[in-house]
Amino acid sequence: MDQPSLYSRYSELQHADNLFVLERYLRLLRWDGVAPPGAGAGVGVGAADRGGPYAVLDVGVGDGHFAVEVLVPRLPGNCERFVGVDSSEAMVTFANQHYRSRCMEFVHLDISSETVEASLECSFDHVFSFYTLHWVKRQRQAFHNIYKLLKPGGDALLTFLATNPIYDIHQIMAKNKKWKPYIKTDYIAPYHQKKHPEKQLENVLKKTGFVKYMCRVENRTHQFHGYDILRKSINAVNPILSKLTGDDAEDYMNDFMDEVRHLPSVKIEKINNNEETITIHYKLFIVYAVKPDDT
């Protein structure tokens, strides 16, 4: 995950899902004293009297594009501090070069590390995370850190993959002698193909100390218009490619794309001029959680 330029061009699936989540769930957050986006009877509205300027953290901010161009403009009221964190130095450097401003900064942090910088603890009214937590094996530690970073009474809106056919391909590729040495089980999302992913995650949230939470799995579909776009989109987030060079990287991607054609959960159709559309079905977590006021 250290190709910010490629990711910024080939992240249509992630951005479509992120937008879907914002449009439906942003109003859940506690925008006390501030009219929430698309104001209606939002769940958390008016729950505590914190009002005024607020601070936001985005975990796994990536290249920064979605956060700055899509998320921040949708936040109501006065977001006076925005911090994007990411475990990839390349992403953090790119985001700082393109988007750093007086109230926006990008910092290196692995959300599953044993400790987080003391100056960031209890600093944020709202924590967001888009398309990141499926990369994190140490789920308990990541949720513990998110909890620590929130102010008492702060809340979090998180979205990440529960299940995706890409992980089935990783598993198939891991059986191939040539690629096996490069593929770690870490690359499989922690809840992929689990029978009751919501229950498992609710357990993590409860053990972390969150008392109010919502954990939902949505069925999602995305259509890629052409194999090349799908190939580049996979390239942009594929952790194995950085370990391969030249022809090996090319061969790996060719094998990967061949497997795409064989998966039952992927539908391929020919349209005008023999162009192909590739439709994939997958499941997305949407998590909303509130840190208790009295911590």
Shorter beta-carbon distance to ligand SAM: residue 31 or 135: 135
**Contact call for residue 86 and ligand SAM (CB under 6 A):** yes
Report d(CA 2, CA 161) in Å as an integer: 19
* Chosen residue from 237, 240, 241, 290 binding ligand SAM by CB under 6 A: 237
**Least gap, CB of 46 to ligand SAM (angstroms):** 29
How many residues are present in the chain? 295
Contact status: 62 vs ligand SAM (CB under 6 A): yes
**Residue 112 found at the interface with ligand SAM (CB under 6 A):** yes
CB closer to ligand SAM, 99 vs 130 = 130
Is 145 one of the binding residues for ligand SAM (CB under 6 A)?
no
Alpha carbons 22 and 44: distance in angstroms, whole number:
15
Residue 70's contacts (CB-CB under 8 Å, 6 or more residues apart) are 15, 18, 19, 22
Residue of 3, 87, 208, 238 that binds ligand SAM (CB under 6 A): 87
CB of 292 to ligand SAM, least distance (A): 24
Nearest residue (CB) to ligand SAM, 32 versus 187: 187
What Å distances lie between residue 53 and 34, 78, 126, CA to CA?
10, 5, 12
Sign of CA dihedral 21, 161, 190, 58: negative
Binding region for ligand SAM (CB under 6 A):
1, 11, 14, 18, 59-62, 66, 86-88, 91, 110-112, 130-132, 135-136, 237
